């Protein structure tokens, strides 16, 4: 049974996305799994972490006992200030986002489609949605990376031809890390760039609704050194 094989851990998925961050990028990490991206530190790159509550340039999670109750990231986690940090109010924080200053936002998702649409704010049979800043970020960040499990708990694909759930933004996703691999969104659909160890392209395709492009230079998933 393919499903019983080990899959990638969440930290490995987020490490892989963080490896794509470039020097001097302004990075916005969504609540939940994406915050793990900040655990991957590349000393050759200076990153500026922006949080939608108006914190520009925050540091790592605060060690126990050293929390400042006035300083949290978008997920409500206490972070430490680092030299050069700046604070703005909420309207200016989103001016920064809509103004195109954010180089990449990393978010979780329920579904991603091969046309770059994704859905992460509303589930069926429930009124309302947990939208937060996701629509502003998705529409205006230069790139949108997604970190999510490849299938639902029931084993249904999340990598789709078209999203079934209400979308967060159309055609914006550029890169997806799942527990089965790394996928680039191209004009022709999902390209499998890297596969999880022990998984081949056919097995990953079986768990994917959209048709995957399998390049001749398909590689094994890259872990942190």
Partner 1 sequence: MKNKIYQTFDEALADVPDGSTFMSPGFSGVGVPRNLLAALHRQGAKNLTGISNNCGSLDEKVDVGTLIEAGQVKMMYAAFTSPTHPSQISPFVRMFNEGTIDAETVPQGTLAERIRAAASGIGAFYTPASVGTELAEGKEHREINGRTYVLEYPLHADYALIRAWRADEFGNLQFRLAQRNFNPIMAMAARITVVEIEDEIVPVGELDPDKIHVPGVYVNRLVKIPPDGIFD
CB of 113 to partner 1, least distance (A): 12
CA–CA separation, 209 and 105 (whole Å):
25
Q: Which residues pair with 61 in a beta bridge?
A: 79
Residues serving a catalytic function are 52
CA–CA separation, 216 and 76 (whole Å):
43
CB of 158 to partner 1, least distance (A): 15
Which residue, 130 or 197, has its beta carbon nearer to partner 1?
A: 130
- Token readout for 132 is 């937060």
Which residue, 81 or 157, has its beta carbon nearer to partner 1?
A: 81
CB of 103 to partner 1, least distance (A): 17
Which residue, 62 or 201, has its beta carbon nearer to partner 1?
A: 62
208 neighbors 199 (Cβ within 8 angstroms): no
Q: Which residues pair with 171 in a beta bridge?
A: none
Which residue, 20 or 92, has its beta carbon nearer to partner 1?
A: 92
Concatenated DSSP letters of 64-75? TT---TT-B-TT
List of residues contacting partner 1 (CB under 8 A): 31-32, 51-55, 68-72, 74-76, 81, 87-91, 93-94, 97-98, 122-123, 126-136, 139-140, 166-171
104 neighbors 172 (Cβ within 8 angstroms): no
Q: What is the DSSP letter of 95?
A: H
CA angle 157, 158, 160 (to 5 degrees): 90
CB of 22 to partner 1, least distance (A): 24
Q: Beta 219-220 vs 189-195: how paired, if at all?
A: parallel
């Amino acid at each position: 049974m393919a499903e019983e094989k080990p899959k990638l851990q969440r930290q490995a998925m987020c490490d892989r996305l963080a490896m794509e961050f470039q020097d001097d990028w302004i990075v916005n990490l969504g609540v939940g799994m994406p915050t793990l991206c900040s655990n991957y530190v590349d000393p050759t790159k200076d990153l500026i972490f922006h949080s939608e509550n108006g914190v520009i340039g925050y540091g790592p999670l605060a060690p126990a006992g050293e929390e400042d109750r006035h300083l949290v990231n978008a997920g409500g986690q206490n972070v430490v200030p680092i030299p050069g940090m700046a604070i703005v109010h909420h309207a200016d924080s989103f001016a920064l986002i809509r103004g195109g200053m954010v180089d990449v936002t990393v978010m979780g998702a329920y579904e991603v489609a091969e046309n770059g649409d994704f859905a992460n704010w509303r589930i069926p049979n429930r009124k309302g949605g947990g939208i937060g800043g996701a629509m502003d970020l998705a529409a205006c960040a230069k790139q949108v990376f997604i970190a999510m499990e490849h299938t639902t708990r029931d084993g249904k694909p999340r990598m789709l031809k078209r999203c079934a759930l209400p979308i967060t933004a159309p055609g914006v996703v550029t890169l997806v890390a799942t527990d089965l691999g790394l996928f680039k969104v191209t004009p022709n659909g999902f390209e499998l760039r890297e596969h999880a160890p022990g998984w081949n392209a056919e097995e990953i395709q079986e768990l994917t609704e959209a048709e995957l492009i399998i390049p001749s230079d398909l590689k094994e998933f890259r872990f942190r050194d």
